Amino acid sequence: MIEVFIFHLHIVGALYAFTLRWQDDSLKEGVLAVGLMGLIFMIGWAITGGVARIITPAGGFAPWLTADTLSLVLLVIPEIFVFRMLFFKRSAL
């Protein structure tokens, strides 16, 4: 269930970034924003997946906290700062 919530947050964030860039600049900028978010997500999940598999025991910490769940949770932490810096802060200009 935690995985579904995290995936849902990514979809909502991608829609927000697309809409924000599309309205401010152009459709191409919106598509590029979603592509950048997808690229960060894929590379970050690959990195945190390896770290989580090293940390997590074979059966997981609990039935709801497996290596995949831990890797997504570890991924969300730096993504919050990166996405906030790139997409969610409006400039004062």
- 15-71 pLDDT, tens digit each: 998 998 999 889 999 999 999 999 999 999 999 999 999 998 888 888 888 888 999
pLDDT score, position 93: 45
CA distance linking residue 13 with residue 6, whole number of Å:
10
Q: What letter does residue 65 receive in the DSSP assignment? A: B
In this structure, what is the dihedral angle of CA atoms 52, 56, 59, 63, given to the nearest 10 degrees?
A: -70
Whether residue 44 contacts residue 32, with contact meaning beta carbons closer than 8 Å, is answered with: no
User: What local confidence, expressed as pLDDT, does residue 91 receive?
Assistant: 56
Rounded distance, CA 84 to CA 70, Å?
A: 22
The residue among 1 and 76 whose pLDDT is bigger is: 76
More confident residue, 92 or 29: 29
CA pair distance 19, 50, nearest whole angstrom: 33
Q: What is the pTM of this model?
A: 0.81
**How many whole angstroms separate alpha carbon 1 and alpha carbon 65?**
10
